[in-house]
Structure 1
Amino acid sequence: MATGSSLAQTAPAAPMEIVAFGDSLSAGYGVEPGKAFPEQLQAALTAAGRNVTVINAGVSGDTTTGGLSRLDWSVPETTDLVILELGANDALRGIAPAITDQNLDAMLERLKARGIRTLFAGMIAPPNMGADYAAGFNPIYERLAEKHGVTLYPFFLEGVAADPGLNQTDKMHPNAAGVARIVERILPVVEAELDAVQAKTPN
């Protein structure tokens, strides 16, 4: 009969916990069940041999102000990694970049204070907002990533934005194939972040 200590040694490790904290791009607006970013990311990580759970904490239409207000209760204490993906709706609504900057800064500070590693997903202002708005909005992500010492994924929609075959008819939200492209591109970065978390975890 196995002893208690041997049972403990053979018990499977708990899965690492990732929270995809964002807006409709994380929530999976307009895509069929199981095809949202968190679900496709979990499938890709599992296929790569990772024992992970990816929680969908995306809220369609959310701004950085909304994200800041729900951050504390949306990210459990058991979280190993947060993918922070917010700001697109701020830009679409023309919210002052200073407000977006302040909210994202506060979220990164709170996550750091809780000891939760963060992968910061950048966003780019849509062209119709004009050059002046873009000049105030686009640099926010790189500056805050440097300030807080977090990894920046420069543009969450890289390789997907403006591609008709990878977006829904609204030309803003990725379709299932577009989400798959996002996952393909961001996967190595997520894996590196998971490795960094594990490297700091006591055996």
Structure 2
Amino acid sequence: MLLFFVVISPAADAAPRAPLIWAFGDSLTAGYGLPPAAGFTARLQVALRKAGVAATVRNGGVSGDTAAQARARLRWGLRGLGATPDLVIVELGANDMLRGLPVPQAKANLDAILTELHNRRIPVLLAGMRAAPNLGADYVRAFDGMYPALAKKHQVARYPFFLDGVAGNRRLLQSDGLHPNPRGVDIIVARLLPSLRQALQGR
């Protein structure tokens, strides 16, 4: 009987590891213009824990990054985490769009990022963006369409628009009209949270 308890007690006492989420993106995930506690990753971690999910959210955002620049630092960033993430939020493409870079170029780089994560068996939540209408109908159609196409190809979860409920609302944006203020961040987190929890459950 003593041997029985000695053998099973470590497994019985072992608590499951808290999920590790990596927000891999640009200034929107980096928390541009905000105090650290008000940025996306910090507020997402707070929201998850309030919802009963004891997750750790790590910030992998770099302001100004295009999809190509993010692709170049992906492996380095994964090594720097010290553990394999349970989920990666891929939030990229806005800077490609703002610079008017060719959509096939952005798509190819996002495709390579998703392929690398797939090869490592890391689940993904792909956060989409939308093109500014002044770039022309053809560009908008191609840019907006690349996210559902990539999500389908790689069979990953997709959140249609990262700035849903915030874009175009100056009360929720910083003075540059592009980046969310703290109120805007909280709306982004609240709207994205159900998709994120579903993606975590499906991993």
TM-score, normalised to structure 1's length?
A: 0.92
The one-letter amino acid of 1:31's match is L
Aligned to 2:33: 30
SS at match of 2:202: helix
Q: Is the 8 A contact 1:83 1:121 kept in 2?
A: yes
Aligned to 2:196: 190
1:1-203 matches, within 5 Å, as 3=6, 5-75=8-78, 76=81, 77-197=83-203
Q: How many residues align?
A: 197
Following superposition, the deviation at residue 179 of structure 1 comes to 0.6
Higher helix share: 2
State how far apart, in whole Å, the 2-side matches of 1:164 and 1:39 are: 22
Following superposition, the deviation at residue 3 of structure 1 comes to 4.5
Q: Is the 8 A contact 1:71 1:107 kept in 2?
A: yes
Give aligned-pair identity as a percent.
49
Aligned to 1:201: none
SS at match of 1:111: helix
The one-letter amino acid of 2:190's match is E
Following superposition, the deviation at residue 31 of structure 1 comes to 1.2
Q: Is the 8 A contact 1:80 1:116 kept in 2?
A: yes
Following superposition, the deviation at residue 4 of structure 1 comes to 6.9
Following superposition, the deviation at residue 128 of structure 1 comes to 2.6
State how far apart, in whole Å, the 2-side matches of 1:63 and 1:33 are: 22
The one-letter amino acid of 2:133's match is P
Gaps of 5+ in 1: 198-203
Gaps of 5+ in 2: none
State how far apart, in whole Å, the 1-side matches of 2:135 and 2:175 are: 20
Q: Is the 8 A contact 1:18 1:80 kept in 2?
A: yes
Q: Is the 8 A contact 1:32 1:176 kept in 2?
A: no
Question: Per-residue CA shift, 1:105-155, capped at 9, x if unaligned?
Answer: 111111111000000000111223222321221111011111111111111
Question: Per-residue CA shift, 1:14-60, capped at 9, x if unaligned?
Answer: 21100000000000001122111111111000001112110000000
SS at match of 1:139: helix
TM-score, normalised to structure 2's length?
A: 0.92
